[in-house]
């Protein structure tokens, strides 16, 4: 996360410098806002990835259970 913050800071400082804004309050405000949005975006993305992984594992286990149950019922029907 620190590397990403450094990249965002460097990009915002160079972009503002090219627009003629001297290093100061405006530049630091822009950097802070960009870092805030990046932090929120990545924290939400991580939570979503964890949720999707847990959901996939649950669905896989449920499918395995249903498959085993179907095989059991099929074998049981063949015995009768």
Angle at 59 between CA 57 and CA 64, to 5 degrees: 95
For the chain, the maximum distance between any two Cα atoms, rounded to a whole number of angstroms, is: 86
Per residue in 25-63, pLDDT tens?
776 777 778 777 877 777 777 777 888 888 888 988 899
Per residue in 53-80, pLDDT tens?
888 889 888 998 988 888 888 888 877 6
Angle at 31 between CA 27 and CA 34, to 5 degrees: 140
Predicted pLDDT at 2: 64
Domain of residue 33 covers 2-79
Based on the structure, what is the number of domains in the chain?
A: 1
């Amino acid at each position: 996360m620190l590397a990403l913050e450094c990249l965002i800071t460097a990009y915002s400082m160079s972009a503002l410098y090219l627009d003629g804004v001297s290093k100061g309050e405006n530049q630091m405000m822009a950097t802070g806002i960009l870092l805030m949005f990046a932090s929120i975006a990545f924290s939400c993305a991580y939570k979503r990835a964890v949720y999707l992984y847990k959901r996939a594992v649950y669905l896989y286990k449920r499918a395995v259970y249903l498959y085993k149950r179907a095989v059991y019922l099929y074998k049981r029907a063949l015995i009768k």
